[in-house]
Amino acid sequence: MGKEKSHISIVVIGHVDSGKSTTTGHLIYKCGGIDKRTIEKFEKEAAEMGKGSFKYAWVLDKLKAERERGITIDIALWKFETEKYSELVAKVDRRSAKKLEDNPKFLKSGDAGNILIVPSKPLCVESFSEYPPLGRFAVRDMKQTVAVGVIKAVTKKAPTSGKVTKSAQKCEGKKK
């Protein structure tokens, strides 16, 4: 019998026009919940309407009015499976960040937790000060935010394969 997959529920809450649908749509795409061809179709349709940057938001925004006005009107639910999510590590207190429970089975509305993200390619981490209640850092990939919160640790893995960019080589040279 194979290893049972963990089930997690994610609720995205934020200010108006803070990119909730776009971020969530991008996360679904990056985790394999929607295929590249569909994203390309959304990109083409969005460009025709003069809203080229909305391709990921349209993963969740299905109503015609949502797409025309560029705002989410109705809630959206999405279920998908992925191998890229690794583990819900701990449930923590939202205010003090003290660990409340190891390896919880779920988090409910209002809970905070630590998750282990294993990216398949390099991600950019940048300071996040526009909405301080949401966290201190944003993890970005190709100009799209894929995670927000407090980063507790970054573990660099030795490169096993793939191309090393010139800027990465230059950066490594400065460290020596």
Of 41, 43, 30, the C-alpha closest to 80 is: 30
Q: Which two tokens stand for residue 134?
A: 């949401």
More reliable by pLDDT, 11 or 23: 23
Beta strands across the sheet bearing 124-127: 124-127, 137-141, 144-149
Q: How confident is the model at residue 9 (pLDDT cuts 50, 70, 90)?
A: confident
Q: How confident is the model at residue 123 (pLDDT cuts 50, 70, 90)?
A: low
E strand segments, 27-170: 85-92, 99-102, 112-117, 124-127, 137-141, 144-149
For 90-122, the pLDDT digits (tens) are 888 877 778 888 888 777 777 777 776 666 556
- Please tell me the predicted confidence (pLDDT) of residue 44: 92
Q: How confident is the model at residue 40 (pLDDT cuts 50, 70, 90)?
A: very high
* Over residues 46-65, mean pLDDT: 87
For 66-89, the pLDDT digits (tens) are 888 888 887 777 776 665 555 677
H-state helical runs in the chain: 20-30, 36-48, 64-69, 166-175
56: Cα separation from own chain's centroid: 12
Q: What is the pTM of this model?
A: 0.47
* Over residues 56-68, mean pLDDT: 86
How is residue 76 annotated by DSSP? -
In angstroms, rounded to a whole number, what is the distance separating the alpha carbons of residues 116 and 64? 36
Number of Cα atoms under 13 Å in the Cβ half of residue 174: 6
- Please tell me the predicted confidence (pLDDT) of residue 1: 41
